[in-house]
Amino acid sequence: MKMANKNNDLSKNQEKNSTSVKSHMESEGAADNDAKISEDKPSRTAQKAARPTTSKLSTAAIILSLLIGGALIYKVQQMNDKYQSKIGELQKQLAQSQQAINAELANTQQQTLDQAKQINLKTETSLEQQQKSIRSLQVELSDVKGRRPNDWLLAEADYLIKLAGRKLFFEHDTISATRLMESADQRIATLNDPSLDTLRKSIAKDIVKLKATPKFDREGLALKLMALQQQVDTLPLTHSFASDIKKEERKSVSEDINDWKTNLLISIKDFSKDFIKVRSTEGNITPLLSPQQHFYLTENLKAKLETAIRAIYVEEQDIYSRALDIADQWTNTYFNNDEISVQSFHNALKQLAVENITVEYPEKLEAQQQIAEIIQERLSRQVTTVIAEDK
């Protein structure tokens, strides 16, 4: 706006200058006309001589005013460009400042939002913990207020049933599991509560299933195999020659002096028998084992029996049978089967190999889940009663 006003002032000045020049020229023309009428011819001649000089001055004044106006216009244009450049820079700085303010404002808003979320999360967590604490206190309070005199019997029955489940599923001890279930049934019968008849029926079904499960004396079978392990070191090895060795006929010295050569050979053989003995045998002969080989044989045989013992506790029938079959083969090959101890060892392996160590056990105890639901129902009922009383 200032630049436009200045331009308008410049144009007005120029117009004033041109108007003054014209008026001046017109006044001069009028004066000349008056002089022409009043003066005489000699003065007109002098005026004609002065007119060119006045005309030049007017032209110079007009040119000077135009130059001054152009210079002013150029200066004003430069100032306008300078101001426009400064305005652009200021607008750019203003935009940058606005962007920085917006970014900082967005960052501040995000930080505030994150802090609000964290505070909200902490508040919810604290509120949830307080609610849990309140529920726990309510349960404990209900346990104190609403406890029945015989509730400990139901809790004890629940413990016994859970213990029976552990004996069955982890140890496969059906005998102990059966006794524990019977003890739990006795505790529930002491309560004399008709609402627990369904639970007692489930316990009775579980007891029937446990008693119907085949009994397997795992420890007894393992002890028999351990006894055979201890007997391995006492088993005699087989001989290096066959049992059907041909007996040589004993020759006696003749009284005929002509048989002196034969008698000499017989005497030498009889004398050498105390030092060297030669036997002739027929058939396949098992070579003698060195002491080191004998040690490896007995240790490997013990290891096979140990494998069978471990297979008993994990109920791996194939591993158990295979280990005893290999042990029986080694017994027949490397030990003297004519000895009674070896025969007894062999018969014991045969009897143990036919034992069935795999048993199908019940998958679950029905009473275990049922008694847990009954206890939970009674507990929730007691909590509801206590809360209603507090209100």
Residues 181 and 109 in one domain: no
**Does residue 51 sit within a domain?**
yes
**What residues have CB less than 8 Å from 339, skipping those under 6 apart?**
235, 236
Q: Could you tell me the CA-to-CA distances from 14 to 1, 65, 181, 297 in Å, in that order?
A: 20, 7, 126, 136
Average pLDDT over every residue of 188-211: 91
Residues 211 and 222 in one domain: no
Q: What is the pLDDT of residue 44?
A: 52
> What are the helix (H) ranges across 172-276?
174-191, 197-212, 218-231, 260-272
For 247: left if phi > 0, alpha if psi spans -120 to 50, otherwise beta; the answer is: beta
Average pLDDT over every residue of 155-166: 93
Residues 170 and 225 in one domain: no
**Does residue 182 sit within a domain?**
yes
Residues 197 and 235 in one domain: no
Q: What is the pLDDT of residue 296?
A: 87
- Indicate whether this model's pTM tops 0.85: no
- What separation, in Å, do the N-terminal and C-terminal C-alpha atoms of the chain show? 80
Is residue 381 very low, low, confident or very high in pLDDT (cuts 50, 70, 90)?
Answer: low
**Does residue 13 sit within a domain?**
yes
DSSP state of 244: -
**Residue 352 — φ and ψ, nearest 5°?**
-70, -30
Give the number of domains in the chain.
3
**Does residue 279 sit within a domain?**
no
Q: What is the pLDDT of residue 53?
A: 73
Residues 290 and 209 in one domain: no
Is residue 323 very low, low, confident or very high in pLDDT (cuts 50, 70, 90)?
Answer: very high
Whether the pLDDT of residue 319 is over 70: the answer is yes
Residues 156 and 89 in one domain: no
Residues 42 and 111 in one domain: yes
Q: What is the pLDDT of residue 42?
A: 46
Whether the pLDDT of residue 10 is over 50: the answer is no
Question: How many alpha carbons fall within 13 Å on the CB side of residue 21?
Answer: 19
**Does residue 176 sit within a domain?**
yes
Span 236-245, pLDDT tens digits: 887 643 344 4
Whether the pLDDT of residue 378 is over 90: the answer is no
Q: What is the pLDDT of residue 131?
A: 86
- Residue-range definition of the domain harbouring residue 208: 151-215+367-390
Average per-residue pLDDT for the chain: 77
DSSP secondary structure of 63-94: HHHHHHHHHHHHHHHHHHHHHHHHHHHHHHHH
**Does residue 353 sit within a domain?**
yes
Residues 105 and 34 in one domain: yes
Q: What is the pLDDT of residue 280?
A: 54
Last residue of a domain, one of 116, 142, 167: 116
Residue of higher predicted confidence among 22 and 64: 64
Residues 43 and 107 in one domain: yes
Residues 167 and 225 in one domain: no
Q: What is the pLDDT of residue 349?
A: 92
Provide the CA 36 distance to its chain's centre, in angstroms: 125
189's tokens: 């019968």
- In contact, 164 and 147? CB cutoff 8 Å: no
Residues 58 and 175 in one domain: no
Residues 372 and 309 in one domain: no
